[in-house]
Amino acid sequence: MTEEQVKQIVIDIINEIAPDEDTSNLKSEVNLRDQMDLDSMDFLDIVMELRKQHGIEVPEEDYPKLASLDSCADYLTPKFNA
Amino acid sequence: MNRPRIVITGVGLTSPNGNSISEFRDNLLRGVANIQEIDMRYMGKVPAGVCDFEATKYQSRKELRVGTRAGSIAIYCASEAIANSNIDFPKYDKDRIGVYIGTTEHGNVETENEIYNISKFDYDTRYWTHHHNPRTVANNPAGEVTINLGITGPHYTIGAACAAGNAGLIQAVQMLQLKEVDFALAGGVSESIQTFGIFAGFKSQGALAKHDDPNKASRPFDISRNGIVVSEGGCIYSLERLDDALERGATIIAEIIGYCMNSDASDYVLPNPQRQAECMQKAVQSSGLALSDIDLISTHATSTPQGDIQECKAIREVFQNCPSTYINNSKGFIGHAMGAAGALELAGNLPSFHDNTIHPTINIETLDEECALKNLVINQPLKVDSVKFILNNSFGMLGINSALVLKKYDE
């Protein structure tokens, strides 16, 4: 799986959990919370959907690695390809 | 003690047959019920009252996903009540608003959903949602209202089984009289059709309605009635002290002039007509009226074989010498909206103050002789000379009884 595909998976999850947000022009390098109205509960939703939909486990100490789409791709792509 | 007078200045509601007081009233007068069959998890088809209001009118899609159905119903009804009250809400001091919402129960729906959800993951609790606790705390529906509307005054729900709608209103009256708040949003909500447990519980108890035609499943006082139709719904009122309402030029819908709540102290489910009779008597007494002043009694009867008879016994005992007191029931139209029932059924009757018409009790093909109350308005609306005082009954499990007395407001 490529980093772009992983980013799209994260965007698809955001579309489910924050359906009022426009995700069409997200900047990959910018913190997601600086671009959208996402709170800590939303990030827990992202973690839960990664677990439910893809069997990916994100330990609590790694939550900061989901800050931006780029950091998500860096962190999650090896997990998807493991 | 000279207590401040408390009035209703706004109504917001959603019921299976209407999403505003005018639509609801119109359907009550025209005899239009709206009960449908829903597919209930583990149980199959059951009759239920389903509301179809525009939830996104006041909530984002994200709020709807995160919150509960009870919260959504409460937000819709509270927002409609505020709009109806014509108060300048953006400028109003949000610290001085209280939210008091009655519920029969809360948390069953969300807990059942999560157990069902983790059953798909071999009951691994890592898949249990972090939304569970904020969704299931007992104050959830009232708390969602405060978050949505930015209200910083007190909020809580009042767990009072199916007397909860009246209990919410009584709490608002008391808090306004104590001047704890200046504006109250109060009533009741129900999301109960989302939980199989309530349906299965009534079925095990032999108290779940069944009929080939869902619109005839709920039929209080009919000889063939066989149980409750569970419904969702909500009704929230805005209430103020009369002086404040007059000062801002509010339209006054009705005045709450008396109430009573008491307890059967006798059985978990079977009502006690003696305590119900006392509840009605004390409510009327607290209003300063004579029993014969009551023009209309909105009954609680839920279409169970026993419960309807018990309430009729209580009414016969108290109102036997009141030839001009009429009686009706709303559950044939909308089923039993549980925690919302008291507040919702009252809203359906409040327009009587102006149209001098009693809406009928429908679905009575053969009246049960034990429920044959004098002046029971059956199947057709009844025009009367005037309606000035309404007694609104609402009773619930564990023997909780409530009765409110409403007065037409004359300038």
The secondary structure of B239-253, three-state, reads: EEEHHHHHHCCCCCC
Q: Cβ atoms within 10 A of the Cβ of A61, count? A: 7
Contact between chains at B126 and A51 (C-beta distance less than 8 A): yes
The enclosing domain of B46 has a CATH number of: 3.40.47.10
* B95-124 residues touching A, CB cutoff 8 A: 121
- A15 part of contact set with chain B, CB < 8 Å: no
Q: Of B163, B198, B220, nearest to B340 (Cα)?
A: B163
Q: Phi, psi (5° rounding) for residue B184? A: -125, 140
Contact between chains at A48 and B127 (C-beta distance less than 8 A): yes
- Asked if residue B105 and residue B213 are part of one domain, the reply reads yes
- A20 part of contact set with chain B, CB < 8 Å: yes
Sheet of strand B36-40: strand arrangement: B36-40, B44-49, B230-231
Q: Is B178 inside a domain boundary?
A: yes
pLDDT at B22 over 80: yes
- Asked if residue B301 and residue B179 are part of one domain, the reply reads no
Q: Is B87 inside a domain boundary?
A: yes
Q: Of A81, A53, A54, A77, nearest to A66 (Cα)?
A: A77
Which domains does chain A carry? 3-21+30-81 (1.10.1200.10)
| Structural domain that includes position B383 | 258-407
- Asked if residue B291 and residue B235 are part of one domain, the reply reads no
Total tally of structural domains belonging to chain B = 2
Instruction: Determine the distance in angstroms separating the CA of A38 from the nearest CA of chain B, rounded to an integer.
Output: 10
Contact between chains at B66 and A41 (C-beta distance less than 8 A): yes
Q: Which percentage of chain B shows pLDDT scores above 90?
A: 99
pLDDT at B371 over 90: yes
Q: Give B62's contacts in chain A (Cβ within 8 Å).
A: 17-21, 37
CB B350 within 8 A of CB B11: yes
Pairing of strands B254-263, B6-14: antiparallel
> Distance (Å, rounded) from C-alpha B327 to C-alpha B360?
9
- Asked if residue B262 and residue B243 are part of one domain, the reply reads no
In this complex, the residue of A17, A20, A51 whose CB is nearest that of residue B127 is A51
Instruction: Determine the distance in angstroms separating the CA of B131 from the nearest CA of chain A, rounded to an integer.
Output: 8
Q: Which of B247, B270, B304 is the last residue of a domain?
A: B247
Q: Is B294 inside a domain boundary?
A: yes
Q: Give B130's contacts in chain A (Cβ within 8 Å).
A: 41, 44-45, 48
Q: Give A51's contacts in chain B (Cβ within 8 Å).
A: 126-127
Residue with tokens 């157990």: B115
Q: Give A21's contacts in chain B (Cβ within 8 Å).
A: 62
Q: Give B67's contacts in chain A (Cβ within 8 Å).
A: none
- Mean pLDDT of the region B392-396: 98
Q: Which of B222, B247, B272 is the last residue of a domain?
A: B247
Q: Cβ atoms within 10 A of the Cβ of B260, count? A: 21
- Asked if residue B201 and residue B99 are part of one domain, the reply reads yes
pTM over 0.95: yes
Chain A residue at shortest CA distance from B131: A41
Q: Cβ atoms within 10 A of the Cβ of A52, count? A: 15
- Asked if residue B28 and residue B128 are part of one domain, the reply reads yes
Q: Which of B247, B280, B295 is the last residue of a domain?
A: B247
* B325-354 residues touching A, CB cutoff 8 A: none
Angle, in degrees to the nearest 10, between helices B164-177 and B341-349 = 80
- A18 part of contact set with chain B, CB < 8 Å: yes
- Asked if residue B269 and residue B206 are part of one domain, the reply reads no
Predicted local distance difference test score (pLDDT) of residue B270: 93
- Asked if residue B262 and residue B242 are part of one domain, the reply reads no
Q: Phi, psi (5° rounding) for residue B288? A: 80, 10
Which pLDDT tens digit goes with each residue over A15-44? Answer: 999 999 999 999 999 999 999 999 999 999
Which pLDDT tens digit goes with each residue over B84-121? Answer: 999 999 999 999 999 999 999 999 999 999 999 999 99
Q: Of B342, B390, B405, B14, nearest to B173 (Cα)?
A: B405
Q: Is B328 inside a domain boundary?
A: yes
pLDDT at B380 over 80: yes
Q: Is B252 inside a domain boundary?
A: no
Amino acid at B172: A
Q: Is B272 inside a domain boundary?
A: yes
Q: Is B13 inside a domain boundary?
A: yes
pLDDT at B1 over 70: no
Alpha helices by DSSP H, B2-138: 21-30, 61-66, 69-85, 108-119, 132-136
